[in-house]
A = this chain, B = another copy of it.
Amino acid sequence: MKIRILVTGGTFDKEYDELSGRLYFKDTHVPEMLARGRCRLDLTMETVMMIDSMELDDGGRAAIVQRSAAAMETAIVVTHGTDTMVETASALAAANLSAKTIVLTGAMVPYAFGSSDGLFNLGSALSFVQVLPPGVYVAMNGQHFHWDRVRKNRATGVFETL
């Protein structure tokens, strides 16, 4: 089974800029994470953008849909900021890419920081995408949610079933 990973940035990939003291994006950590997970899946990774999902607008969202539609693979994992992950899932569902299983995932803490959930979530998303039927899903907190039955609880940082 071939899988495509579409990288869009998000907390997952944030780094600390030691000169400015701010968080920013440089390169994605996904290849390093896959190496650490000794992942042996047949994967192609594509960086669509590197942004904070709070700054993702309709144009950016359309680009993610477009790259998902153009992908040859029927299994797609999208790494994404958690704040608007559900909105992008909704846009992907609206595109009606009916033969594809698309799983969005992200992280609450950047991978570059010791305590990140990113590696757990990436292992989870890559597993769900291999076995779930076509559709659009969010994989966070060890769980998977249908795109239209999930929200991020901003007070707790946890994804919940609607």
Binding site for B on A (CB under 8 A): 11, 16, 18-19, 21, 23, 33-34, 36-41, 52, 108-110, 112-117, 119-128, 130-132, 139-144, 154-155, 157-159
Contacts and interface: CB of A to CB of B under 8 A. Distances in A.
| Tally of this chain's copies | 4
A63 to B, nearest CB: 22
A129 to B, nearest CB: 9
A141 B39 contact: yes
Given A113-B112, A144-B130, A121 B16 contact: no
B38 A117 contact: yes
Contacts of A143: 40-41, 130
Contact of A115 (B23, B112, B140): B112
A127 B113 contact: no
A28 B161 CA distance: 30
27 contacts: A11-B18, A11-B21, A16-B110, A18-B108, A18-B157, A19-B157, A21-B23, A23-B23, A36-B115, A36-B116, A37-B124, A38-B117, A38-B120, A38-B140, A38-B141, A38-B157, A39-B120, A40-B142, A41-B143, A112-B113, A112-B114, A114-B114, A119-B119, A123-B127, A126-B142, A127-B139, A131-B144
